[in-house]
Structure 1
């Protein structure tokens, strides 16, 4: 198909197959979860920034994760909420908006991995080299690592989406509830070999470096804890690492599930639900894991409520 083949600028989105009776409960449930994500994650960031005792590298990196969760949920959830209450004739999106949404969706996913890699390094230094922790994880180092995490994700995703945007379009139906990179290049009738090669390389680099660094980090931490005879230190190390590892496992399982479901067209509805849950369940769980399940954060929240009652 030649490069001059194109269609209109307005694209049609697939819908989630829900009955008219279940669309309202689904809308209310998704809206409540979205409100919880926004309130809990933004509240966690404000709490950390307002308390000097929480302005430590570990919690500053948690701010990165919370900001990314708010960004990821806002990219997808309001869009899905709108489509739950609109008719099929109104389920459309402009191509430019679709490309921007695809970029934001993949930036959120990529930043989730790069930020968690930095958090794993922070836990490694804190447990394996505690005497050097203050010298290594300075505020400047945290800022530099955070910039590297976001910058790396931005460049990788910019190239990924840019390769799809360059293609001409011969279709107008987006095979998803929202736009992602696969939705973009599936609109073209041109060869997408370059897209597939880069997409595979992007996945291998991101997931390979993520899985490799986290696995090596926790193997090293496990070795140090096994050799140590201090139960108190080991217990604290396991507690701080368990939250990070739980979030990472959820992220990886969610990502692999969506990738696998993409390979089975008959499970398209399951893929749509899994895609939405990936941008809803993980941000909500992250706020709970890093917030309510963290002893220091819980203490600060409790103290804040008590001070408000006294006032």
Structure 2
């Protein structure tokens, strides 16, 4: 009935996963989650309506340790589809490793490469493409906050409902040196900008003359997901070939594994997050199994590795000129 009743039920039933709304009687879901993760950590799925305050609260919940967010059915939405999404989220949460180690200490992190003025002036559109699902928002934040101003373009697919991705982009933009935005159809792909695929739309990259542009579409879900990591990665492989870096972070399922292998076959440098630092290792594990990962790294090492790989592409151009 309320947060206090939920606490008693948790102690009595010892559930494997709980679902949580951000709007609760007597104590809001964020305060309850903070206390829960402090005293009785459990995998938590946020199940909330899509409003601006609730979207921000859901993202705050993810930062506090919740592992998935699912939007409640709105008017005109097929409730059966939402229930299927909720079931998949609960199954993913049940596989979550709450004892993961995303940060192995500042002393062991490699230094970020310097984006000096000469290099920045010669940057072409060498894209870093990132895919993630369960546990991804916190991992993406760790990667993006480490990126310096002037970094290459970054394109991101995070499995997240429509209505939440814009709030996610705004939250990251306030924390990052790069500009972070929800992608719009026709957006230019340009340095110092990270674009996040909007919920419920696939994101691809197309060439228009000398420019790279974003193309969004409403194609069918891939691996039960729209946006899909595979859709982005296949597009990157086709459009950019070796002039790209692919990064596959924590997540349930196999989305991104085939696309990462395609990127590697096209000459791109590819990086998978290691098991120890993942909330759920399933997506990177499948990419590794298929031979799609050039490197398997802890999360703390991925920002420098991705930027080094992208910078190496650019340095080749600079040195060759």
When the two structures are superposed, what TM-score results if normalisation uses the length of structure 2?
Answer: 0.30
Q: Return the structure number with greater strand share.
A: 2
Computing the radius of gyration from Cα coordinates, the structure with the larger value is 1
When the two structures are superposed, what TM-score results if normalisation uses the length of structure 1?
Answer: 0.31
Q: Return the structure number with greater helix share.
A: 1
Greater length-normalized contact order (CA 8 Å, ≥ 6 residues apart): 1
